[in-house]
Copies of this chain bind each other. A is one copy, B any other.
Amino acid sequence: MEKTVIAIDASGGDNAPTSVIGGVALAIDDKSIAADILLVGDSEIIERELEKANISKTAVSILHAPDIITPDEVPTTAVRRKKQSSIVVGTKAVKEGTASAFVSAGSTGALLSAATVYIGRAEGIERPALGVMLPNRSGFTLLIDCGANVDCKPAYLAQFAQMGSDYMSKIRGIKAPTVGLINIGTESEKGNTLVKEAYPLLEQAGVNFIGNVEAREVPLGKVDVAVCDAFVGNVLLKYTEGLATGLMGVIKDELLADPISKIGALLAKRGFKRVRKRFNHDDVGGAPFLGLKSLVVKAHGSSNANAIYGAIRQCDYFNKANVN
């Protein structure tokens, strides 16, 4: 098998470049990863960081991209103007075949915009979408779209269902993944205009559509793929963070409020550590932008080395699955 190349944005994310180089170091040490690494960013900074991390210059390639697009810039404008940004240079490397996948912890909007312009949409897909792995009681649900499509046509939702189903079966190895349409009730006539019109399209989308799902059923693991527009998806995603933090805060407050419970909480430390581990997204490996001609993975803005490593592993796995 020919070696594939994974391009990685060295400048994107709150902890770049240190976290990115740290993730690359973990990937280099992992002999199961078949791909070569191409770091995209300011070459001088990258070289300095590689040296600090004791990584030989021959272990990776570097693609110089001195500019950075920040998350507060208007995505389309930034992508048009900053041709030397790591996001534009990285997606172009995929377009030109220098790399087969691109990982970035930078601006979500700019990444999607650059990927759509340079890499292009897969056949039959009108809008690429961001799929996020939400932990549920027994595994993960792919919530799609959490990205840029905040105003959707019904047909987009049917395409999200297809993209999500495809991903979960190919990459996660789930046979006939169950697909649900997020709605306020389970009956087919429930919901707003968008989901009511999308429902029959999902029935004909060639996926294992099990109908509407209420949002309460998602954390309980009712479906493998949960479909919604990006406004709902993004709200749910952020709410998950807030609610988990809020709930854990209340538990902490109350367990420390009387001395016996406090001793109990101390004794249960190992159990709580396992709880945190189950809700730790680092191993998930970022969120795939689906519906593009090649794989682009959005890592969380606050990614640490382990999260970047997870994203690289995901690309490697995707490359291998696609070859087979």
Contact = CB atoms under 8 A, between A and B. Distances in A.
A68 to B, nearest CB: 19
Interface in A200-220: 214-220
Contact of A242 (B219, B241, B256, B269): B219
A234 B185 CA distance: 9
Interface string A225-258: 0000111101110111111111101110011111
A154 interface: no
Interface string A136-174: 110000000000001100000000000000000000000
A267 interface: yes
A57 interface: no
A82 to B, nearest CB: 20
Interface string A179-191: 0001110010001
B192 A215 contact: no
A245 to B, nearest CB: 7
Contact of A136 (B72, B246, B264): B246
**Most B-side CB within 10 Å, residue of A231, A250, A255, A257:** A231
Interface residues on A, range: 35 or more
Interface string A59-79: 000000000000010000000
Interface in A78-119: none
B261 A270 contact: yes
B242 A244 contact: no
A1 interface: no
A contact face: mostly helix, strand, loop, or mixed: helix
A278 interface: yes
A247 B247 CA distance: 9
Given A137-B249, A255-B275, A261-B270, 14 more contacts: A72-B187, A215-B239, A219-B245, A220-B242, A220-B245, A231-B232, A235-B235, A244-B247, A255-B268, A261-B272, A262-B271, A264-B268, A264-B269, A265-B271
Q: How many copies make up the complex?
A: 2
A257 B271 contact: yes
A263 B231 CA distance: 43
Contacts of A183: 235
A323 interface: no
Contacts of A236: 215, 235-236, 239
A48 interface: no
Nearest to A190: B150
Nearest to A195: B231
A274 interface: yes
Contact of A275 (B230, B251, B266, B268): B251
Contact of A238 (B215, B229, B245, B254): B215
**Most B-side CB within 10 Å, residue of A218, A245, A261:** A261
A193 interface: yes
A51 to B, nearest CB: 37
Given A231-B192, A231-B232, A272 B254 contact: yes
12 contacts: A150-B192, A151-B193, A192-B229, A215-B239, A219-B242, A240-B243, A244-B247, A251-B271, A254-B278, A255-B275, A265-B271, A267-B267
